[in-house]
Copies of this chain bind each other. A is one copy, B any other.
Amino acid sequence: MVEKKVSDYIADFLLEQGIRHVFGIVGAGNAQIFDAITRLGFTEIVCVHHEQAAVMAATTYYRMTGKVSVVLLTTGAGSTNGVTGVVSAWMDSMPVLVISGNENSRFTSAENPLRIWGVQGYDSTKMVEGVTKWTNRVMQPESVRDVISRAYAIASASRQGPVWIDVAMNIQAAPVSAEGLLPVQSLQLDDHHQVGVDHSRILDLNNGVRAVLELLAVSKRPVLWLGHGIRAAGAESLVAELVEKLGLPTLVSWQACDILDSDHPLCFGRAGVYGQRAANFVLQNSDSLICIGTRLAIPQVGYDLTEFARAAQVAMVDIDSQELLKLGERIQLPILSDAGKFIERLLQEIKGINTQPDWISQCEVYRERYPVVGPEHDDMQDASGTSFVNSYRFMQVLEKYFHDDQIVTTDMGTALLSGHQVLKIKIGQRMLTSTGLGEMGFGLPGAIGAAIGANREVLCLNCDGGMMLNLQELQTIVHHQLPIKIIIFNNDGYLMIKHTQKALFAGRYSGSDQKSGVTCPDFSKVAHAFGIPSFQIRTWEDAESILPEVQSINGPVICEVFTHPEQPFVPKLSLVQQKDGSIVSPPLEDLSPLIPRDDMRKNMLIGLHQKSNTLDVSNVD
């Protein structure tokens, strides 16, 4: 009987699945697996410089290829370093298979009471139990194929998410004959997150489709809200047909902003706390809201559920019953279904379409009245009179130079907010970020995973603060000469935090800019150190001359854009003073900067919220 090492079966599995790239860093704890994969010669291991980046890159690799992506971690810190990426994948429903090495299996028992397992190991799977769909430690060489097969299947199954398997060093090297391998156990895909759920309110696919059609039949101002769950279900190709057949004003979540052409006549944008003003009016005036594959996160629905789409009956289609129930009675129609199956079924069942031309016209009025870039995005000057380009307005210039198949990844802060507020995304273009964990540092590895997965150019929107958390990955980009264009918005520190501190602490900053204890390096010099060409944009003339050049370069580029260190993130749902001096959080449609109350009254077909009525808008009206 021919025997192969456990590591060889892992390498074989990657080949069988057609996985062309995995991400990781070699160490004593995974050297066997690296060797087996390299010897087999099918899968390329992309060696990053911090394991967090390996996991983050795997999430965008998946998004571009549809392949569950694999991460190779070593024992000890090699695996702890992967935790941030795993939590990010968990929150964003990204199927990632993490394979960690560990010490000799005589140490890797959950009963081992020592602080250290072997030389530098610990119970890695226990640590991530709460933030993964499944963990397993391969303790028998014969079980390798079973465990990796199940892990892969569990990661891929709805609701997708990361899985983590741990393989002791000696097990990796252990020989097994093909005949000796244990059979792959059949899957029990019961999601522990469904346990303990009261399903009495939840509708199934049949009843859900019927209820939605009944709701739409009587709605005057229906709205569709689409999310990443549609892509996770592989149903993105049905979106245009769905939207057009229903004829409804449609909103998209940030994670799904590339699922419908931003210029589609029925696409009314992205609503939320940092939403587009027009989109929020569409949302908040709806009388029925059909949410498919979007988890209605707080940044989408705001802080007070009683104010969210308060005139609407809300239907929510999701594969995770916990998500369906989290907003309680606010979701009148919680429908437990795969987003794709729901859309297919809905398309089959739609008979006539109850078009509402007046409502669509009204939505178009919102869109025309409140373009995504407005006077609140005018350039600002600092005390010395230096003028800074506004990051929102900058996006409109940037998108002129987009390729038809442009991929964009964003880090957090200015990159995230300006990008998702302004950038129009066409079908064929992609915009990828971390919307759940929202970890600073996602931008660079996100771009790496996307560039390698799609084998094409990526525009990475980043910020001075966020660049630092995966700075070392510039070398990974350089090593592979990946065509990644990095735009760095330089705003002297952590701008979102500065705004928080300004609002909460009477303007006292701490740890958020140069004066309060944090600086970032000169990124043009950093670019030079890594051998990356670099540019600086300080004016609109710079932008118009440099951006085409940036887009025309093959290989990596860094382009720093200097923005005002206090530039507001607007529009935004902000705390506001009322006429009596008290501070309130207005309803989701009443974004700051506040608009005149008369305009609000005109826009709010459902009537002005009482809180909006009493806001102090003396600077506005």
Chain A residues within 8 Å of B, Cβ to Cβ: 24-28, 31-32, 34-35, 37-39, 45-47, 49-50, 52, 76-77, 80-81, 83-84, 87-88, 90-91, 93, 113-116, 118-120, 122-123, 126-128, 130-131, 161, 173, 193, 196, 297-299, 322-323, 326, 436-441, 468-469, 471-472, 474-475, 478-479, 494, 496-497, 500-501, 504-505, 508, 510-512, 516-522, 525-526, 528-531
Contact in complex: A119, B298 (CB < 8 Å): yes
A47, A118, A510, most chain B CB atoms within 10 A: A510
Cβ-neighbour of A529 out of B91, B472, B526 (below 8 A): B526
Contact in complex: B119, A299 (CB < 8 Å): yes
Cβ-neighbour of A80 out of B35, B37, B84, B298 (below 8 A): B84
Contact in complex: A80, B87 (CB < 8 Å): yes
The 6 closest A-B pairs by CB, nearest first: A77-B439, A26-B511, A525-B529, A529-B529, A38-B510, A80-B84
Contact in complex: B508, A35 (CB < 8 Å): yes
Q: Which residue of B lies closest to A126 (CB)?
A: B130
Cβ-neighbour of A511 out of B45, B77, B521 (below 8 A): B45
Q: List 30 A-B contacts (CB under 8 A).
A: A26-B510, A26-B512, A35-B501, A35-B504, A35-B508, A37-B510, A45-B510, A45-B517, A77-B88, A77-B437, A80-B437, A81-B84, A81-B439, A83-B84, A83-B127, A87-B122, A90-B115, A91-B120, A114-B323, A119-B297, A120-B436, A127-B128, A173-B504, A472-B472, A475-B519, A475-B520, A478-B521, A479-B519, A522-B531, A525-B529
Complex Cα distance, B494 from A52, in Å, reads 18
Known: A87-B122, A472-B469. A31 touches B76 (CB 8 A): no
A81, A131, A520, most chain B CB atoms within 10 A: A81
Contact in complex: A120, B438 (CB < 8 Å): yes
Contact in complex: B118, A91 (CB < 8 Å): no
Copies in the assembly, this chain: 2
Cβ-neighbour of A120 out of B26, B32, B437, B518 (below 8 A): B437
Complex Cα distance, B91 from A525, in Å, reads 38
Least Cβ–Cβ distance between A575 and chain B, in angstroms: 13
Cβ-neighbour of A475 out of B120, B127, B441, B468 (below 8 A): B468
Residues of B within 8 A of A122 (CB): 87, 90-91, 130-131
